[in-house]
């Protein structure tokens, strides 16, 4: 079966169905995959590092010994109780994918140790993955896809984590922080922990945007919105460098393309308001431009015209579609789009 709705996933992770013998957690955001895997593992066994109750495997182990997975799933817990077989797949490889799918089907059908749980953590599996198909098809198995966090998910995670340290932010500061957060769950949690320390745990402080200026200024180049602004400002080298740094922090190509699309949309709104008679500065504020970025945005507004944005829009849409194709070189597509935008900006005099 497939568990894709957040409430269903959270309910299952809190209280796993005892009838389920195999769980596949997969997605491009390995931070979310690992986090959910850890949460489920802790519900299944008292100590996830206990070698008597838990077997830790990788695809490398299966490559060296094809029978290893079924052997671990057939073994009994030496201490009594439930046994956990935790398999981490680093890549979607044909032979390993088939081997895992066959073991999952046999285990879900009860052919191996029925008291064992098979927990598989994998990256972004395509629709043709045999392991994914097996987990979705079997009644005693569950497939849990992990999608990139939305802004609301990140905001909720930030609020909950800061509340545990008795610190918080007002709405404007939260929106600013979330906009600059990396989407990869593991990196995001590290940034939240760093922010909590910056705000001093237990202080009860309610941070404002001005309180975050020094903190956010530590790594401004990591923001994809800054990379998009560099591209529309004609600064290709800066945009390319920022995209690559963001990629190292977990911001993939699709997020970069979206950031470029969002910047285009903000420019379009400002130009539309100006055409309707609003002042440029007033229009920038109405479009939600942060005050530190206002000067650069107004510089771009003086160069870009609505017809120029119309010409570049198809390139953004094409890059967005291409990034959603399985196996697409997302990072290269994002950098190529930045090159196209920066080249157009240069021709406009930026």
Domain identity same for 181 and 227: no
Domain identity same for 207 and 240: no
Residue pLDDT, tens place only, 118-165: 999 988 788 888 989 999 998 899 999 887 666 777 888 899 989 999
Average pLDDT rounded to a whole number, residues 105-115? 89
pLDDT of residue 162: 93
pLDDT of residue 91: 63
Residue pLDDT, tens place only, 47-58: 888 888 888 888
Task: Give domain status of residue 317, yes or no.
Answer: yes
Residue pLDDT, tens place only, 161-210: 899 999 999 988 888 888 777 666 776 787 888 888 888 899 999 998 88
Q: Which of 93, 123, 145 delimits the end of a domain?
A: 145
Higher pLDDT residue, 290 or 343? Answer: 343
Segments forming the whole domain that contains residue 168: 151-216
Q: Rounded mean pLDDT of the chain? A: 85
Domain identity same for 228 and 281: yes
In the block, residue with structure tokens 């990629």: 247
Domain identity same for 155 and 138: no
Task: Give domain status of residue 51, yes or no.
Answer: yes
Q: Does the pLDDT of residue 306 top 90, yes or no?
A: yes
pLDDT of residue 220: 41
Q: Provide the number of structural domains found in the chain.
A: 3
Position 92 confidence tier, pLDDT thresholds 50, 70, 90: low
Task: Give domain status of residue 342, yes or no.
Answer: yes
Look at the pTM and tell me if it is higher than 0.85: no
Average pLDDT rounded to a whole number, residues 71-92? 81
Among 49-58, 68-77, 209-218, 316-325, whose mean pLDDT is lowest?
209-218
Domain identity same for 211 and 226: no
Q: Which of 102, 129, 145 delimits the end of a domain?
A: 145
Domain identity same for 324 and 260: yes
Position 299 confidence tier, pLDDT thresholds 50, 70, 90: very high
Domain identity same for 179 and 248: no
Task: Give domain status of residue 234, yes or no.
Answer: yes
Domain identity same for 10 and 104: yes
> What's the CA gap between 36 and 25, in Å, rounded?
8
pLDDT of residue 223: 64
Domain identity same for 244 and 175: no
Domain identity same for 232 and 159: no
Domain identity same for 198 and 230: no
Residue pLDDT, tens place only, 215-250: 775 444 456 888 899 999 999 888 888 888 777 766
pLDDT > 90: percent of the chain: 29
Domain identity same for 159 and 79: no
Task: Give domain status of residue 70, yes or no.
Answer: yes
Question: At residue 334, what are phi and psi to the nearest 5 degrees?
Answer: -65, -40
Q: Which of 193, 216, 239 delimits the end of a domain?
A: 216
129's CB contacts (< 8 A; 6+ apart) are 92, 97, 101
> What's the CA gap between 232 and 251, in Å, rounded?
19
Task: Give domain status of residue 1, yes or no.
Answer: no
Long-range CB pairs of 64-73, under 8 A, 24+ apart, other chains included: 66/99, 69/99, 69/100, 69/103, 70/103, 70/106, 70/107, 70/112, 72/116, 73/103, 73/107, 73/112, 73/113, 73/116, 73/118
Average pLDDT rounded to a whole number, residues 297-318? 93
């Amino acid at each position: 079966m497939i568990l894709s709705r957040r409430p269903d996933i959270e309910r299952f992770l809190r209280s796993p169905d005892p009838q389920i013998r195999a769980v596949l957690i997969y997605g491009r955001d390995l931070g979310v995959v690992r986090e959910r895997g850890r949460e489920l593992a802790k519900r299944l066994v008292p100590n996830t590092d206990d070698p008597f109750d838990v077997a830790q495997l990788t695809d490398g182990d299966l490559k060296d010994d094809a029978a290893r997975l079924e052997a671990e799933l057939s073994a009994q817990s030496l201490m009594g109780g439930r046994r956990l077989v935790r398999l981490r797949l680093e890549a979607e490889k044909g032979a390993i994918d088939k081997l895992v799918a066959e073991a999952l089907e046999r285990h879900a059908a009860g052919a191996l140790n029925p008291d064992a749980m098979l927990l598989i953590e994998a990256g972004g599996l395509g629709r043709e993955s045999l392991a994914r198909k097996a987990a979705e098809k079997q009644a005693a198995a569950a497939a849990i896809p992990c999608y990139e966090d939305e802004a609301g998910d990140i905001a909720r995670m930030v609020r909950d984590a800061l509340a545990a340290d008795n610190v918080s932010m007002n709405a404007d500061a939260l929106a600013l922080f979330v906009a600059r957060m990396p989407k990869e769950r593991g990196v995001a949690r590290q940034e939240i922990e760093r922010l909590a320390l910056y705000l001093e745990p237990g202080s009860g402080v309610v941070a404002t945007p001005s309180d975050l200026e020094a903190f956010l200024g530590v790594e401004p180049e990591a923001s994809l919105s800054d990379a998009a602004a560099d591209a529309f400002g004609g600064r290709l080298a800066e945009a390319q460098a920022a995209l690559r740094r963001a990629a190292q922090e977990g911001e993939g190509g699709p997020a970069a393309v979206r950031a470029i699309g969002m910047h285009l949309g903000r420019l379009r709104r400002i130009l539309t308001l100006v055409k309707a008679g609003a002042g440029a500065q007033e229009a920038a504020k109405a479009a939600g431009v942060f005050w530190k970025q206002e000067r650069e945005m107004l510089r771009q507004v003086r160069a870009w015209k609505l017809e120029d944005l119309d010409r570049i829009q198809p390139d953004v849409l094409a890059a967005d579609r291409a990034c959603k194709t399985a196996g697409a070189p997302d990072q290269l597509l994002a950098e190529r789009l930045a090159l196209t935008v920066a080249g157009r900006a240069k021709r406009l005099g930026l």
